[in-house]
Structure formats: C-alpha cells, structure tokens
Structure 1
Amino acid sequence: MNVYAPQSASSKRALWAHIKDLKASRGVIWIILGDFNQVRSVEEKRNCVFDPVSVADFSSFIYEVNLAEYLMNGSKFTRWLDGGNKMSKLDRMLVCDKFWGLWPTVTLRTLPRNLSGHCPLVFITTSTDFGSIPFKFFNAWLSKPGLDTAVRSTVTSFNFYGPHDVSLAEKLRCIKKVVKEWNNKTKKEENVSLSTSAEVIKKLDLLCEIRDLSEAEKSDYMEYKNNINMINDSRVNELQQKSQVRFGDRRG
C-alpha cells in the first residue's frame, strides 16, 4: 500500500483507523510505505514543530496493527524545507510480521534528493552491507569492578521521549557506549597494573639472589603475583568466549 498522509491530526487518525480496518479484513502480507507526514520521536525532526499527541497516535497505530519498521540507511531525514533549515523523517516503510519473518534483513536506503524536497527510497532485499559490528558482552567482565556501577548509572539517568521501541533501542545504545568506554578504561588500567606488578616481582627476584626476603616483601611478592594471575586468567576466559562466538563451541 502506498501512503500519502494528510496534514491534520484528525485526518491522520482517520487514515490510521482505515488502514487498521483494511488489514484486519484481508489476511495478506502487508507492505505500507510512503509519506506518512508523521515522525515517531523528537529526534526525527529539526527546526520543526513537534506534536507529541500525533506521535502517540502514530505509535499506537503501529503497535495495534502489529507492524514493524525496517532500518533506514543513507540519511537521517527524508524531507527538507526552507532551504534545508527544516528537516524531518516523514517517509518510511512498515511491514506485517509475516513479511518481517520472510525477509528480516531488508533495509530501506535513501538516495540523493537533488532538487526534490523528498529523498527517493530504495527497497533492498540483498544483504550487501552487514551494518555495524555486533556488540558482544563477555562473562569475564562481570567479575571486574566498575561495570555494574556504570550500567546502573546509565539506566538511572536515561531520559527519552518517544515510542517504546525507539526508547528501548536508544537505551541499549547508551548502555553499549558506556560499557565500551568502561572496557577500554579497564584494559588500560590492567596494562598499567600488569607492568607495575611485573616490575616489582623483578626487583624482588633480584633481592632473592643476595638475601632472604622479609615477611613484608614476601607478602608483596605474593600479592603482585596473584594480581598478574587474576588479570591473565580473566583475559584467557575472555579469549575462550571470543573464540566460541567466532568459531562455535566444537567440544561437543
């Protein structure tokens, strides 16, 4: 179904209701695309009036009709006005769960708009672009300090206005960013700790050649040795999980 939605909120509600009735009366695979004249979140507009009531109406329609929206690549917005000062994402593609199940990797790509106010959209069913590298979480991280605090702080401070599915995706994106930053920081701290521990053990080994170590020095030796073993064991566990993710667990 090709859609060119009206401007007024009441007319759009009537259109959503009409599409809902049509879909309920016809058990076929549905693809609904075109200019819906409606955004789903404040992030889909720039320098334009934002109507939260219309957003809620549109989101409720998508949820009640059991539709899903594919990822759009190319550009963030599809409609330009006032010489590019006003932008919004009005054009999109919605599909039923049957279509999604048959073609889960479909994407919608925008093309250069040239002199038009709208970007042309291309429907791509061939997976030539695999997108971003998937985010992987490793069990070994759970034993390291700071991760729980970083994630809890991000979830507690998260604030987003928009549809529930968009909100969840944005929350996960924020958590992913924080976990990556924490992991990079932790690796740097571990490298410094390994270097320091190895240097202390080297000095204590040299002392062992000329005299017996004191109790305090023996305690330091064991402490730094255990620190190296703990960090190395954690990294080995992480490497084992990475290998299973990449190549599969072949032990069975």
Structure 2
Amino acid sequence: WCIVGDFNSVRFSQERQGISSAEYGVSNTREFNEFICDMGLDDIPVVGRKFTWYRPNGTARSKLDRFLLSDEWLTIWAGSTQYILPRNISDHCPILMKNTNLDWGPKPFKSLDCWFEDKNFLDFGKKIWNELNVHGTGAFVVKEKLKGLKDKLKRWNKEHFGDIQKQLNRVEGLLNELDKKQDLKDLEDEERRNKKELQERFCDLAKRNESLLRQKSRIK
C-alpha cells in the first residue's frame, strides 16, 4: 500500500527555502519522520524539481507532497519512482508515481471528437484513403492503409488543433524554467515581472482553449 498527499511537513531542513525553522517548527519535522519510521514506510526517489509548494510571491518553497510506500509495495513494484511535475499557476506541483521497470508498449491511436466537427475532415480522410496505394490481400491492404491514415491524421491534427496547446506548452515550459531557477536562488525583479506576465498569459490561453473545446462540444 501507499500514502500520497500534502503532508504539510518536511523531512529535512533543506526541503524548505525562505522559511525559518521557527515558522514551521522543528518538532513537526521530527514527528513526521517518526511517523514514517513507525509505519514502516519508504520515501522513494524523486525525479524533477526539488520542491512541490511555492508561496505565491515566490519568496518561499517547500517539499510538502510525496508518495510513501510500504515494503510490500516495493517488493512487487521495485521500480517505483515519483516525479514532481510543472505547477503552471498553482501553488502546488502535481506529483506522479511510475514504475520504471514496466513497459506498457506504445499508446493506442484514438480519434478525437473535434475532428468530426471540422467541415473538411471527412473529405480529407477520404482523399488520403484513396491516395494510399497498397497491394496484397484484403486484410493486409486494410491494415497498411489504416497505418498510413493514422500518420496523416496525426500531422493534420497537429496543424489544425495543436496551435493553442503548443502555446500552452511553451508558456508552461518557460514557467517551469523560472521555477527551477527560483529553486536555486531568488529571482531578479525583471524575472519576477516576466513570471507574472507568463502566468497571466497561461490563464488567458487556458481560458481560450477551454472555451474552444466547450464551444465545439455543443456544436450539433
């Protein structure tokens, strides 16, 4: 079994920056470590950034969120690793646990509902299907043409529906870089202003993306 969440406590002093020991209390750290020891839990390795919580003004940060695993869990899934992901505009970073020893294979291809709302989609699909020239038995021809159609649809989707998401990803990456830099030292005034502008930009893009998806979902 495992326990995951915001424990509102750190294990070591280096898991906090910008906060004095008087603010968070040394006894909290001691009690948290005693809890982990008494329950026989393991604090598994972390990949990514150092902290999971950031004060909105950027003056303090802590590692408050984590996965704690039992020995039985690690016996079955020995490759369990936790990842600290980009936080975007939240004060907490999401955390993710993966078993690095498992390979689930490639992700299955899925069509998107928004494709069928595009007036050119069906004609585009028919055109690509007819242009794919494959020879062989019936089942082989269908399989190879579906494979070719999948590749074309992936590129088409990226060109027609990936623009806002691409911008979101770019802004998210820039925010993530500033967070990583802030983990090491306080940001300069210009960097703080840039971060605030990026956060506002992210909110704007997220709202536009949500509005677009909601509008398309209501098209009859």
TM-score by length of 1: 0.38
Higher relative CO (CA 8 A, sep ≥ 6), structure 1 or 2? Answer: 2
TM-score normalised by L of structure 2:
0.43
